[in-house]
């Protein structure tokens, strides 16, 4: 088996290549791994990638699979790909626990009003605030996949009521589950803190917009940790300024990096972070990539294989 590696925008490629080569030598001796550069002969079997160029795909149309070093495949699906090329993504691989801690932090910061206490400390003002009632802060998780399920589980540990929404029906302990277009209005109506962990697909692009966000309970909070394209930022701004939404924590934006001067940087009720809620953990990603390659070599479908027609 001959493999390519390409991660043009990232640093640390030498460390990735060393870790992948060591794991492949142990688990799949004889496999060759080369870093992609333009003009290589089209005789490779698969490529391990993050945000590869269209040129790689155009020059290597025979590749049987692209193994993505992340959970989201929206960037891969934006490329022109031969119909037979399989896409395999990371499933959890150390990202779910990071997502759970990020979301719980944002949720608790909002629920316990830590932003207000930060301001009070700055003013040297001792002022205990009246505690909120937990049952009035149901948390709705959009997307009940590898990451959403872990987040729903983590939030339950703090006794918040939890709702979930997915494309197909799910039955998760302690989670009131909704699905499909028909289930969306009741899910939104029941939610006070909305957590978005949907993939970005043609069906979900712009799904967080005025029409949907208006259905959330009054003074709701939005946490988007999936993709910026899911949220219509202008609609968020209007609903924040009208007071229907109390605030938002956003790890992902329509434009990344977020341009200097963008309103999201300075809005008093918005917290932004630079797409760090769940980062790829090299050691866990390498194990999963090798497992997927072994499945491909045996002619099996790796467990993280993306259904290209549904977009995730």
Minimum CB distance to ligand NAP smaller for 95 or for 193? 95
Part of the chain binding ligand NAP (CB under 6 A), chosen from 46-54, 120-128, 221-229, 263-271 = 221-229
CA distances from 239 to 2, 227, 252 (A): 52, 20, 19
33, 52, 167, 231: which one binds ligand NAP (CB under 6 A): 167
Residue 267: strand, helix, or coil? coil
Q: What is the spatial order of strands in the sheet that 162-166 belongs to?
A: 175-179, 162-166, 139-142, 193-196, 220-224, 245-250, 270-272
User: In terms of C-beta distances under 8 Å and separation of at least 24 residues, what long-range contacts does 71-74 make, across chains too?
Assistant: 71/95, 71/146, 71/147, 71/278, 72/199, 72/200, 72/226, 72/227, 73/199, 73/306, 73/311, 73/312, 74/199, 74/200, 74/201, 74/227, 74/229, 74/311
Query: Catalytic one among 21, 275, 282, 291?
Result: 275
47, 71, 193, 248: which one binds ligand NAP (CB under 6 A): 71
Closest Cα partner for 126 from 116, 134, 136? 116
Q: Is the peptide bond before 185 cis (omega within 30 degrees of 0)?
A: no
CB of 97 to ligand NAP, least distance (A): 12
Determine whether 227 is an active site residue: yes
Residue 140: strand, helix, or coil? strand
Closest Cα partner for 179 from 211, 144, 220, 134? 144
CB of 121 to ligand NAP, least distance (A): 29
Determine whether 210 is an active site residue: no
Using DSSP, how many helices (H) and how many strands (E) does the chain show?
11, 12
Binding track, positions 112-151, relative to ligand NAP; x by CB under 6 A: -------------------------------xxxxxx---
Q: Does 203 bind ligand NAP (CB under 6 A)?
A: yes
Query: Catalytic one among 150, 167, 192, 227?
Result: 227
Q: Does 95 bind ligand NAP (CB under 6 A)?
A: yes
Closest residue to ligand NAP, based on beta-carbon distance: 145
CB of 251 to ligand NAP, least distance (A): 5
CB of 285 to ligand NAP, least distance (A): 12
Q: Does 233 bind ligand NAP (CB under 6 A)?
A: no
Q: Does 251 bind ligand NAP (CB under 6 A)?
A: yes
Part of the chain binding ligand NAP (CB under 6 A), chosen from 122-130, 131-139, 161-169, 242-250 = 161-169
CB contact at 8 A, 155 and 103 = yes
Q: What is 11-70 written as a DSSP string? A: S-HHHHHHHHHHHHHHHSTT-EEEE--TT--S--SEEEESS--HHHHHH-TT-SEEEESS
Q: Does 249 bind ligand NAP (CB under 6 A)?
A: no
Q: Does 277 bind ligand NAP (CB under 6 A)?
A: yes
Q: Does 208 bind ligand NAP (CB under 6 A)?
A: no
278, 285, 286, 289: which one binds ligand NAP (CB under 6 A): 278
Q: How many Cβ atoms are within 10 Å of 310's Cβ, its own excluded?
A: 11
Q: How many residues touch ligand NAP (CB under 6 A)?
A: 28
Enzyme catalytic residues: 227, 275
Contact footprint for ligand NAP (CB under 6 A): 71-72, 95, 143-148, 166-168, 197-201, 203-204, 225-227, 251-252, 275, 277-278, 312
């Amino acid at each position: 088996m001959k493999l390519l590696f390409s991660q043009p925008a990232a640093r640390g490629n030498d460390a990735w290549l060393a870790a992948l080569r060591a794991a492949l030598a142990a688990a799949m001796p004889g496999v060759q791994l080369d870093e992609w550069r333009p003009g290589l002969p089209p005789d490779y079997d698969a490529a391990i990638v993050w945000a590869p160029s269209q040129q790689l795909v155009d020059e290597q149309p025979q590749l049987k699979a692209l193994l993505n070093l992340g959970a989201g495949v929206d960037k891969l699906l934006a490329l022109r790909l031969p119909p037979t090329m399989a896409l395999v993504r990371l499933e959890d691989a150390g990202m779910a626990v990071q997502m759970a801690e990020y979301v719980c932090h944002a949720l608790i910061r909002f629920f316990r009003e830590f932003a207000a206490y930060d301001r009070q400390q700055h003013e040297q003002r001792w002022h205990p605030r009246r505690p909120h009632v937990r049952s009035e802060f149901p948390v709705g998780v959009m997307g009940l996949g590898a990451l959403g399920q872990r987040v729903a589980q983590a939030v339950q540990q703090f006794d918040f009521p939890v709702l979930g929404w997915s494309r197909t029906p799910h039955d998760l302990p302690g989670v009131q589950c909704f699905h499909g277009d028909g289930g969306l209005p009741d899910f939104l109506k029941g939610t006070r803190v909305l957590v978005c962990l949907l993939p970005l697909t043609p069906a979900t692009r712009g799904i967080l917009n005025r029409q949907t966000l208006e259905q959330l309970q009054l003074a709701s909070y939005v946490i988007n940790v999936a993709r910026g394209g899911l949220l219509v930022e202008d609609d968020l701004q209007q609903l924040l300024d009208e007071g229907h939404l109390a605030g938002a924590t956003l790890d992902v934006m329509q434009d990344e990096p977020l341009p200097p001067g963008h309103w999201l940087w300075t809005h008093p009720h918005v917290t932004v972070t630079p797409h760090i809620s769940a980062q790829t953990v090299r050691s866990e990603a390498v194990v999963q990539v090798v497992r997927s390659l072994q499945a491909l070599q045996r002619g099996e479908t790796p467990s993280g294989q993306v259904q290209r027609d549904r977009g995730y």
